[in-house]
Amino acid sequence: MASLQQTLLRQISRANRRFGLLEDGDKIMVAISGGKDSWAMLHLLREYRRMVPFSFTWVAVNLDQGHPGFPVEVLREYLEREGHEHRIVHVDTYSVVKREVPAGKAYCSLCSRLRRGILYDVAVELGCTKIALGHHRDDLIETLLLNQLYAGQLKAMAPRLRSDDGRNTIIRPLILCEERDVAAYAIEQGFPVVPCDLCGSQDNLRRAHVRQLLVQLEANNPDVRRSLLAAAGNVKPSHLLDARLQGEGDDDGEAAGAGDGALLSPQMLVRA
């Protein structure tokens, strides 16, 4: 039976082959929040580098956003002990978010925009060719549903994306990895996980509702997450309502059946 690390490395390799995430000569800025996902990504990228026939380097970057009690020294000590090139950036976005977001509203949107802008600047300053974020398969699926249910958009997370200002390329090496595997790997490896206490204590977040919905759907269809992941890579623009994408279809728009020649089935995605 494959170990967790082997499973995760195989999924990273699959994502890299399909989406061209890592290339010879890359200098990757690995964004480290202190959570399980970013720690796992950093550790796995080092292991993946030992597997591939090309060279890339990385620098771990943590943005200390001024959260009261945030144990930045825990991160620094671990990064130094593991021998990772790293940088800790101190910018107080915590006060901005607390001041600007009305009581009872989620902080995540503004917090992430501020964090993203700062990290983009740091990546340019460090001469990094790409920024690696620790989003996994379940983040993609939840975002796909969030955008449909609450934003009226058919959009998820790109495994590789050029930033709006054209200065940075964002990659998500864990995009095919299951959250439960990443969580188990973090425990297995003993990473110093630091939870976000800014938004983590807020109730009734929309993402939490979507997670509950997925659990309910899985009760009837255990493969629902696998199907949603496959759907994100099996788009038929001619059967959507965006007039900019309309073209000639290959059927009458009925639900897919056994003989419809799907571009990418859930089973194919897992085996690819």
pLDDT digits (tens, 9 = 90+) for 171-221: 999 999 999 999 999 999 999 999 766 554 444 478 889 999 999 999 999
- List of long-range contacts for 139-142, beta carbons under 8 Å, 24+ apart: 139/179, 140/175, 140/229, 140/232, 141/214, 141/225, 141/228, 141/229, 141/232, 142/207, 142/210, 142/211, 142/214
- Give pLDDT, residue 197: 60
| Half-sphere exposure of residue 204: CA atoms within 13 angstroms, side-chain side | 2
CATH 3.40.50.970 for domain 4-202, yes or no, is no
Distance from C-alpha of 139 to C-alpha of 227, rounded to nearest angstrom: 14
Q: Is the pLDDT of residue 103 over 90?
A: no
Does the pLDDT of residue 59 top 90, yes or no? yes
Write down the pTM of the prediction. Answer: 0.85
The residue that leads in pLDDT, 265 or 53, is 53
**Per-residue model confidence (pLDDT) at position 195:** 76
Beta strands in the chain (DSSP E): 27-31, 57-64, 86-90, 130-132, 160-162, 169-171
pLDDT band at 113 (very low <50, low <70, confident <90, very high): confident
192 in helix, strand or coil? coil
Residue 249: is its pLDDT beyond 80?
no
pLDDT for position 259: 35
Cα–Cα distance, 231 to 261 (Å, whole number): 14
Q: What percent of the chain has pLDDT over 90?
A: 68
pLDDT at position 109 over 50: yes
Instruction: Specify which of 66-70, 107-111, 145-149 reaches the highest per-range mean pLDDT.
Output: 145-149
More confident residue, 264 or 127: 127
